[in-house]
């Protein structure tokens, strides 16, 4: 027994010493990654002395192909980019063929089934994405009853600064995500709360409630947030573009106007969405033509309708004309020049032109990206509720 106690004591002392040694080593070798340099370039670092190859992959490179990082004698790999424009960038490391995250950067975002590190380069448009010393709104995650979907569903809601302390009523923007997204997408990837806080503080945007629902009516909530448990997220889910989302959207409006101080008339309701959410926004606003005076289509997925018996897609041309005849205050369309949906949007604009419909069009560089969709939110919201 005594021998066992002595052995255990020696083992504990040894392990404790090793732990202390590792702790001291980590303190002496603290790694900054990514580091924002004076010229707005970024330096990435990874300590991996026993691997053969490390690469950097991300939208900051301007291409899909990864770039090789350089190994130093102490096993530290590094790569410095050229000076970058102000933006929110995402990236990953590829170590001997395995994609991993940057252990020295705790800031990560889930995009569908991928998790990536993010970094914000300030000094330009990305200043809108920063948390600044301004009054802040409140973000809440609520559950609402959806009789049309026969389930309770989760929804994200932004209320503007001061909402809890006053009795005013506010206009509402319903903001919809794209395929593979959920009620968390516009908050995490779109930086909606930060953008609204900053634009409201600058006096550029009317204080408003922003409602971010889950457009996948087969889900009660984002992956891992409902009774289905911790399953792997996927892109296309049942009922995403078959009319069910559009048909049941009044459940959301009823919940918001019954539980929040929302101005309940078309002049104070707006709807906008990206990609699949643009598809939903187009058809929701057309199917309920006297509901929204403001409509925003961000890189909208305008395409032939799925095989469905839903009444949502019937008599498209007639109902679209009726919608515009109701006197819309703003019908806003944005698309990137290299977006794979560019031609379908051009064809849709031609249809609008032929009918004499009035709309606002914004064409940007780039493709089907969150960089563009954040820009569109910054351009669209100042035009609302004026």
Does 14 map to a domain? no
* Residue 112 and residue 153 share a domain: no
For 187, phi and psi rounded to 5 degrees? -75, -45
Out of 98, 123, 148, pick the residue that ends a domain.
123
* Residue 238 and residue 92 share a domain: no
Domain count, the chain: 2
Out of 102, 123, 144, pick the residue that ends a domain.
123
* Separation CA 162–CA 176 (nearest Å): 24
Does 17 map to a domain? no
* Residue 276 and residue 233 share a domain: yes
Inter-residue contact 335 to 299 (CB < 8 Å): yes
Question: If DSSP codes are grouped into helix, strand and coil, which group holds residue 14?
Answer: helix
Looking at residue 5, what is its pLDDT? Answer: 43
The dihedral region occupied by 36, where left means phi > 0, alpha psi between -120 and 50, and beta the remainder, is beta
* Separation CA 344–CA 325 (nearest Å): 23
Looking at residue 303, what is its pLDDT? Answer: 76
For 368, the domain range is: 129-383
Does 333 map to a domain? yes
Q: Is 243 exposed, middle or buried (0-12, 13-18, 19+ CB in 10 A)?
A: buried
Does 134 map to a domain? yes
Out of 123, 150, 172, pick the residue that ends a domain.
123
DSSP string covering 358-384, please?
--EEEEESS-S-HHHHHHHHHHHGGGS
Parallel/antiparallel/unpaired status of strands 67-68 and 54-58: antiparallel
Question: If DSSP codes are grouped into helix, strand and coil, which group holds residue 35?
Answer: strand
Does 13 map to a domain? no
Which of these, 135, 116, 131, lies nearest to 57 by C-alpha position?
A: 116
Inter-residue contact 209 to 172 (CB < 8 Å): yes
What contacts 139, CB < 8 A, 6 or more positions away?
A: 156, 157, 158, 187, 193
* Residue 94 and residue 142 share a domain: no
Inter-residue contact 184 to 149 (CB < 8 Å): no
* Separation CA 190–CA 278 (nearest Å): 15
DSSP alpha helix (H) spans, the chain? 2-28, 185-188, 192-201, 244-247, 249-259, 276-287, 316-325, 342-355, 370-380
Looking at residue 225, what is its pLDDT? Answer: 94
Does 348 map to a domain? yes
Residues in the chain where the model's pLDDT stays below 50: 1-27
For the domain that residue 177 is a member of, what is the CATH number? 3.40.50.1820
pLDDT tens figures, 268-306 = 999 999 999 999 999 999 999 999 999 999 999 997 655
* Separation CA 356–CA 276 (nearest Å): 25
Which single residue is written with the structure tokens 């991996």?
48
How far is residue 177 from each of residues 156, 213, 295, 382, measured CA to CA in Å?
12, 8, 14, 20
Looking at residue 113, what is its pLDDT? Answer: 86
């Amino acid at each position: 027994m005594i021998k066992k106690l002595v052995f255990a004591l020696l083992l504990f002392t040894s392990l404790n010493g090793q732990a202390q040694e590792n702790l001291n080593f980590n303190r002496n070798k603290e790694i900054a990654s990514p580091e924002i340099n004076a010229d707005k370039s970024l330096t990435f670092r990874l300590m991996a002395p026993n691997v053969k190859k490390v690469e950097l992959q991300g939208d900051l490179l301007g291409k899909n192909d990864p770039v090789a990082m350089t190994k130093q004698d102490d096993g530290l790999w590094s790569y410095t980019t050229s000076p970058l424009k102000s933006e929110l960038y995402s990236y990953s490391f590829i170590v001997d063929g395995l994609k991993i995250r940057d252990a020295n950067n705790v800031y990560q975002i889930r995009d569908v089934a991928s998790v990536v590190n993010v970094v914000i380069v300030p000094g330009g448009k990305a200043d809108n994405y920063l948390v600044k010393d301004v009054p802040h709104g409140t973000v809440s995650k609520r559950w609402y009853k959806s009789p049309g979907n026969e389930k309770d569903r989760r929804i994200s809601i932004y209320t503007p600064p001061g909402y809890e302390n006053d009795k005013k009523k506010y206009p509402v923007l319903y903001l919809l995500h794209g395929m593979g997204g959920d009620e968390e997408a516009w908050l995490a990837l779109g930086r909606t709360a930060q953008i609204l806080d900053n634009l409201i503080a600058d006096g550029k945007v009317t204080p408003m409630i922003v409602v971010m629902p889950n457009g996948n009516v087969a889900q009660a909530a984002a992956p891992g947030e409902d009774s289905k448990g911790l399953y792997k997220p996927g892109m296309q889910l049942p009922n995403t573009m078959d009319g069910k989302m559009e048909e049941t959207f009044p459940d959301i409006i009823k919940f918001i106007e019954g539980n929040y101080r929302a101005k309940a008339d078309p002049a104070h309701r707006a709807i906008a969405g990206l990609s699949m959410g643009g598809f939903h926004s187009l058809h929701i606003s057309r199917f309920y033509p006297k509901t929204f005076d403001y409509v925003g289509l961000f890189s909208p997925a305008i395409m032939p309708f799925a095989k469905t018996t839903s009444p949502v897609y019937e008599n498209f041309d007639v109902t679209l004309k009726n919608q515009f005849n109701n006197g819309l205050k703003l019908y806003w369309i944005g698309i990137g020049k290299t977006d794979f949906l560019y031609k379908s949007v051009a064809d849709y604009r031609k249809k609008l032109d032929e009918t004499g419909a009035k709309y606002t069009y914004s064409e940007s560089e780039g493709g089907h990206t969150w960089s563009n969709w954040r820009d569109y939110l910054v351009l669209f919201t100042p035009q609302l509720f004026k």
